[in-house]
Amino acid sequence: MPANLTPDYFKAEKWFKSAATDDERVLALEEMLRVIPKHKGTDHLRADLRKKLSKLKASLEPGAKKGSSKHVDVFHVPRSGAGQLALIGTPNSGKSSIVASLTNAHVHVADYPFTTTVPVPGIAKHEDVPIEFIDTPPITADYAAPGQVNTYRSADLIGIVIDLSTDPLEQMEICVTYLRSHRLMLDNSTDANDPAVIHLARKTFVICTKADLASAGTMQTLIELTDCDLVFIQVSINDLQALAMLTAKVFDLLDIVRIYSKKPHEPADMTDPFTLSAGSTVHDLAFHIHRELAEKLHTARSWNAPGIHDGQNVRSDHVLSDKEIIELHFS
């Protein structure tokens, strides 16, 4: 029986063949298995792919190699908060200063390069939403720590930190070259239909810092000289208003909504919202709270949403908006 493989499958296979690391090969194999037509003609191929995948995964397990000691990946930062932003920048660009100013993390700030050697996470807040910022070691044109790509790969968002007071264009080129070479950067030049892009690329924006030391208009010149269609934001470490705008921009770029839950006959809990990706529905909210709740969901009532009367019944496919209050009813 013919396999009748689809263009999506061939795309994923092409990605597998061009993958640079075993982690990326795992992702590509998973994608091949996801898109492969499922019928008798592909039975053997699917079995082969599954075998290849489990072998590869086993080889990536900590301590997989004989005699090797347990390996902890310091570049993998566990997720916390409603979203994760990883910073990238050349030495001394001001990455640690941003994390020190916006979070409670203990990071080292110093007037010499290569101060930071491992990623350090900290939680910043946009209003009542906790967002994880990750300080990282610097990269240069010739060097980045070997595992650093993992920090970016698992983040939701990448922030390129540019020191506006020294060679901003050169810093920008170093960071963009690194991100593009690892297929990490989502911008107008990336093909959103490419499975490698879908799995590897992260929304990227630019944080121009040390604005207090640079001449006015430096960021604008940088925007005009660079070929990337990215959001740029200007800050300086002593400008609290600009730093608050940075956290607000990160919240925007994460594209999430916060939902306050309410029990029947009780006021809503306005202190600790659930956060879901924009476009999520009432059903997704119930599922997020607990898989079984989604199955038992009967109706819901909504407050504080555009086009809805406060207390109106909404269906499970109702799309949630930021700051909406939802009361779930189960059967």
Ligand X SMILES: Nc1nc2c(ncn2[C@@H]2O[C@H](COP(=O)(O)OP(=O)(O)OP(=O)(O)O)[C@@H](O)[C@H]2O)c(=O)[nH]1
Residue ranges in contact with ligand X by CB under 6 A: 89, 91-97, 109-111, 113-116, 138, 209-210, 212-213, 236-237
279 binds, options ligand X, Mg ion, none, Cβ within 5 to 8 A by partner type: none
63 binds, options ligand X, Mg ion, none, Cβ within 5 to 8 A by partner type: none
Compute the least distance from the CB of residue 105 to ligand X, in Å.
Answer: 12
The smaller minimum CB distance to ligand X, of residues 3 and 109, is found at 109
The smaller minimum CB distance to ligand X, of residues 18 and 140, is found at 140
Please report, to the nearest 10 degrees, the dihedral formed by the alpha carbons of residues 235, 238, 241, 242 taken in order. Answer: 0
Compute the least distance from the CB of residue 48 to ligand X, in Å.
Answer: 45
Contact region for Mg ion (CB under 5 A) — 112-120, 123-131, 196-204, 223-231?
112-120
For the chain, what is the HEC assignment?
CCCCCCHHHHHHHHHHHHCCCHHHHHHHHHHHHHHCCCCHHHHHHHHHHHHHHHHHHHHHCCCCCCCCCCCCCCCCCCCCCCCEEEEECCCCCCHHHHHHHHCCCCCCCCCCCCCCCCCEEEEEEECCEEEEEEECCCCCCCCCCCCHHHHHHCCCEEEEEEECCCCHHHHHHHHHHHHHHCCCEECCCCCCCCHHHHHHCEEEEEEEECCCCCCCCHHHHHHHHCCCCCEEEECCCCCHHHHHHHHHHHHHHHCEEEEEECCCCCCCCCCCCEEEECCCEHHHHHHHHCHHHHHHEEEEEEECCCCCCCCEEECCCCECCCCEEEEEEEC
Contact region for Mg ion (CB under 5 A) — 71-79, 91-99, 154-162, 299-307?
91-99
212 binds, options ligand X, Mg ion, none, Cβ within 5 to 8 A by partner type: ligand X
The smaller minimum CB distance to ligand X, of residues 116 and 190, is found at 116
The smaller minimum CB distance to ligand X, of residues 114 and 143, is found at 114
209 binds, options Mg ion, ligand X, none, Cβ within 5 to 8 A by partner type: ligand X
Compute the least distance from the CB of residue 210 to Mg ion, in Å.
Answer: 14
Among residues 3, 8, 52, 115, the one that binds Mg ion under rule CB under 5 A: 115
Compute the least distance from the CB of residue 193 to ligand X, in Å.
Answer: 35
Two tokens, residue 285: 């909210």
Most distant CA atoms of the chain, gap in Å: 69
Is residue 116 close enough to count as binding Mg ion by CB under 5 A? Answer: yes
94 binds, options ligand X, Mg ion, none, Cβ within 5 to 8 A by partner type: ligand X
Two tokens, residue 295: 């199955």
Q: Per-residue contact track with Mg ion, 45 to 84, x per CB under 5 A?
A: ----------------------------------------
275 binds, options ligand X, Mg ion, none, Cβ within 5 to 8 A by partner type: none
Compute the least distance from the CB of residue 85 to Mg ion, in Å.
Answer: 15
Binding site for Mg ion (CB under 5 A): 96, 115-116
